[in-house]
Amino acid sequence: MNRVDEVTAAKTPQPIKTSWLQLGIVCMAQLVIWTGFSGILPYLPIFLQEEGHSSVIMIGFISAAFYVGALIFSSPFGWLSDLVGRKPMMIGGLGLMAVACFLFTRTVDPRWFLLFRVVEGMSAAAGGVMFAFVADITAPSHRSRGLGMVMSAQFGGAILGPALGATLYHAGGGGRAGFYAIFYFGAAVAALTTIVMAFLIREPVATRQRQAARTGRESRPSYRAVLKPAIAGFLIVSFSLNFAFGGLEVVWSLWLNHLGVSMTMISVVWIAMGVPMMLSFATGILADRYSRFALMFAGYTVAALTFVVFGLTKSLALYLGVGVVQGLAFAFASPAKQGFLIQVSPLEWIGTVQGLDTTSMWVGGLVGTLVVPVIYAAISGYVIALCGAVALAGLAIAAPVLWRARSTGAPARSVTTPQEQAIG
């Protein structure tokens, strides 16, 4: 770190206490918004096929449009949040989600949905800003715990949403009206969350400190601080893991259906994978007390191996058991990864780094959704094992770099003080 960066870092200290109230508001907002988003996700392809008479290829392009919007805007949104603040970008992202869901009810022409999904992807691009906000309001010794709480809320919404979507569909009378009931619900909860967040969320003190630190040319931080090997290692991990998940998202249900698994049991398999991820709030505590590197790589390695098992076996009972293991592995790894990434990030560029990481994630998911179905047509379910191999390769490439960075900015493992427990 050069002298300019040292001066800037000194003027942007990390918070000494955690704002549990603000963190709780963010968790509630994420639970609600993910419930609305996940309520739409399983039914949008069916709506496009039945009401919009879309081809499977067109539905694939519409799915990819979401990733395009997310990856284009993730880095700019993260950079802007470092300059103008976290709150405007978070509120803007939620507002875009409400607009996108409402637009779903305006037409059944699938060509318009290419644009609507780009807008929805733009809203998802603000997700990295939300993690940067959590970093700004949590003490280093509570950071992974806070990130884990947010992830648990997200996964809770992801599980609740599809069940609620089915209820809304039948309550709306089925058909186009039933689909519109789901879309209106998604738009309403997104709009309500936007309003609530606008009134209750406060801009972190760290924003003013960053802006003050950048006053004057001599104290302007170097962007080169972002371009370091440790952060590149995280980008590799995000790309490879989300390549695997992007591919699994497209072909997993198709493969289970090919094996003769009923629609009900396909849902059960997905739930078995998702429910353990709600334990992220508890595993975040472990990540604050023990090695984030070890938890991250142990968890992600186990998760990658579950892809290999999925692709090389054909047992429903095994799928259920391994699905639970995969969910637990991600619950252990994800809070540790987010906390570790913030730990090695320059304080004045946390939002930018989160944007880069989110961009890498969306790029991996986009490539996976486009490439894996093509390979699936040639080798069927074995491609899922290939997804696991890609994830393992990414972890192997990044491990040496992140091992060397594991002690960078590591928080002290000390007993929590009354000051740290205070609500900001």
The verdict on 171 and 239 lying in the same domain is no
Residue 233 confidence (pLDDT): 94
The verdict on 197 and 269 lying in the same domain is no
Number of domains the chain contains = 2
**Would 367 be classed as within a structural domain?**
yes
**Would 419 be classed as within a structural domain?**
no
Name the one residue in this structure whose structure tokens are 């289970």.
Answer: 256
Local confidence pLDDT in tens for the 424 residues of the chain: 444 344 444 445 566 677 888 888 888 888 888 888 777 776 777 778 788 887 767 777 787 788 888 878 877 888 888 788 888 988 998 899 999 999 999 988 989 989 998 998 888 888 778 878 888 888 877 877 887 888 888 888 878 887 787 788 888 888 888 889 988 998 999 999 999 999 998 888 777 776 666 555 445 455 666 678 899 999 999 999 999 988 887 788 778 878 888 766 776 787 788 788 888 878 888 888 888 899 999 999 999 999 999 999 999 999 999 999 999 999 899 888 988 998 888 777 777 787 788 889 888 988 887 888 888 888 988 999 999 999 999 999 999 999 998 876 555 444 343 333 333 3
**Would 191 be classed as within a structural domain?**
yes
**Would 3 be classed as within a structural domain?**
no
Name the one residue in this structure whose structure tokens are 């003013």.
Answer: 208
The verdict on 23 and 147 lying in the same domain is yes
**Would 379 be classed as within a structural domain?**
yes
- Write a three-state SS string for 318-352: HHHHHHHHHHHHHHHHHHHHHHHHHHHCCHHHHHH
The verdict on 372 and 240 lying in the same domain is yes
**Would 365 be classed as within a structural domain?**
yes
Cα–Cα distance measured from residue 172 to residue 306, given in angstroms and rounded to the nearest whole number? 39
**Would 421 be classed as within a structural domain?**
no
Nearest alpha carbon to residue 38 among 137, 155, 130 = 155
Which CATH number covers residue 300?
1.20.1250.20
The verdict on 381 and 250 lying in the same domain is yes
Cα–Cα distance measured from residue 239 to residue 129, given in angstroms and rounded to the nearest whole number? 18
Domain that residue 231 falls in: 224-407
The verdict on 154 and 234 lying in the same domain is no
The verdict on 49 and 173 lying in the same domain is yes
**Would 6 be classed as within a structural domain?**
no
- Provide the 8-state DSSP code for 279: G
The verdict on 168 and 296 lying in the same domain is no
Other CB atoms within 10 Å distance of the CB of residue 276:
20
The verdict on 188 and 236 lying in the same domain is no
Are residues 140 and 14 in contact, defined by beta-carbon separation less than 8 angstroms?
yes
The verdict on 299 and 381 lying in the same domain is yes
The verdict on 117 and 178 lying in the same domain is yes
DSSP for 206-246 reads HHHHHHHHTSSGGGPPPGGGTSSHHHHHHHHHHHHHHHHHH
The verdict on 122 and 236 lying in the same domain is no
